[in-house]
Amino acid sequence: MTLPYPKKTESTKAVPARNDKQMRRIALAGFTGTVIEFYDLTLYAVTASLVFAKVFFPALGPAAGTLAAFGTLGVAFVARPVGALIFGHFGDRLGRKRMLVITLLLMGSATVVVGAMPTANQIGAAAPILIVLMRIVQGIAAGGELAGAALFSTESAPTTRRGFWTMFTSLGGGFSIVLANATLLAVGAGLSDEQFASFGWRIPFLASSLLIVVGLYIRLKIDETPVFQAEAKAETAGSVGRRPVPLIEAWRNQPRHMALVAGISIMQAAFTYLGATYFANVATSQLGLTRNVVLAAGVAGGLCWALGVVVGATASDRIGRRPILLVATAAAVVWAPLAFTVLESASGGVYLVLLCMTMFIAGLEIGPINVMLSEIFDTRYRYTASAFAYNVGLVIGGAVPPITAGAITAAYGAFLFGLLLAVLCLISFLSAIGLPETRHRDLNNIRTSAH
């Protein structure tokens, strides 16, 4: 069953898309911003699974310390809907560009601070508290980043190529997974485990300051999206009604779409963050794989994630967003119990295959999701609705499975955890069934009356 868009009075106006030269600049801005966001998040996730239990939670012991380190991942996810509301609200009122500059600065700055953070042995309980605070800042910034960057590309691109151009925002995530693992691998190649835990892990965090400078330069050079400019001009001219709070307007007009977007986002978040965190922890603690082997596998996983994005995004321009979402989520329902059961006793080669397939399925769904987020909601509240609904799904999929995987597997076995994960994937599959096809929607329709 598909849902109709909300009834409204519209005046279709010709709002030209950006040309290819402008789109290349916009795509680069989306790519670099997402690289920074995912680099920071992936870097933290992988490092948490390798050393943070020793560095920031030594008093808890290895097992509880690792659980606490993963718990800080959950803190960031819980903060993401808050960031979505803040940046979405002002992004819908003041423009997309300003908010994306702020999210980039917040995310990058928090990562540099983590890299310079004193350990628990140096400042005691203040260390984990500061880590949690930085994770909250990162979560708030991330809540406004991906959906905002995606809609910036979508609102600027020609209708028939929106999937292609928005793909570059998504590809930043895949590249950052590769970059984070490769940087840790390069830094740790000549270091012992003790040296890596002492200072080596800090280098990639501090190096992210270079990404901030590059990303900020590129984002300051781009113009606001033509769709938002047209909406703002119509409001200024008095051809639209008084604007309610974007979240209230979105919830009043498209509540089911918001719920379905949250549902469709669960699977890709679960697969991506389980691949980045839980897989690495199982490999080092249970399978006996070395740190460098795990990081090299992480590079391969990031490449497979990016490949899935390319396949999903480009195919969605040809056959639609909904068919790709249905294929990806259906595959995930079947894959989840199989992959996580086999993982517990996998050899190095099998581990690599399991990780790569898990990341590819996640990327396959990511490709059409990011463009669909912008197409399904109205311009007046698009940033708020897409960012908030998407990040609610990320809380469920990105925080809960990685944190609970170890405990559920230890108590009840890996197969049960795989089944529970399959249930989450089933929610995404059912959401894909309920979502409308959006690839032909005209984003240039400007509202001429309030709801």
pLDDT score at 446? 40
pLDDT score at 70? 67
Question: What confidence tier does 290 reach under pLDDT thresholds 50, 70, 90?
Answer: confident
For 381-411, what is each residue's pLDDT tens digit?
Answer: 999 999 999 999 998 998 888 878 888 988 8
**Residue ranges in 157-278 assigned as alpha helix (H):** 162-188, 193-195, 202-220, 226-236, 246-253, 255-273
Which domains does the chain show, CATH number per domain? 19-221+254-439 (1.20.1250.20)
As to burial, measured by CB atoms within 10 angstroms (0-12 exposed, 13-18 middle, 19+ buried), residue 68 is buried
pLDDT score at 273? 85
Rg (CA), the chain: 21
Per-residue pLDDT, averaged over 23-27, amounts to 87
For 341-357, what is each residue's pLDDT tens digit?
Answer: 999 889 989 999 999 99
Is the pLDDT score of 268 beyond 90? yes
Are 264 and 431 spatial neighbours (Cβ–Cβ below 8 Å)? yes
Of the chain, the percentage scoring pLDDT greater than 90 comes to: 33
Q: Is 319 or 238 the better-scoring residue by pLDDT?
A: 319
Are 247 and 345 spatial neighbours (Cβ–Cβ below 8 Å)? no
Strands 10-12 and 445-447: antiparallel
For 180-215, what is each residue's pLDDT tens digit?
Answer: 888 888 887 878 878 888 888 888 889 888 888 888
Query: What's this model's pTM, rounded to 2 decimal places?
Result: 0.82
pLDDT score at 5? 44
Is the pLDDT score of 7 beyond 60? no
Strands (E), 19-118: none
pLDDT score at 443? 77
Q: Is 41 or 94 the better-scoring residue by pLDDT?
A: 94
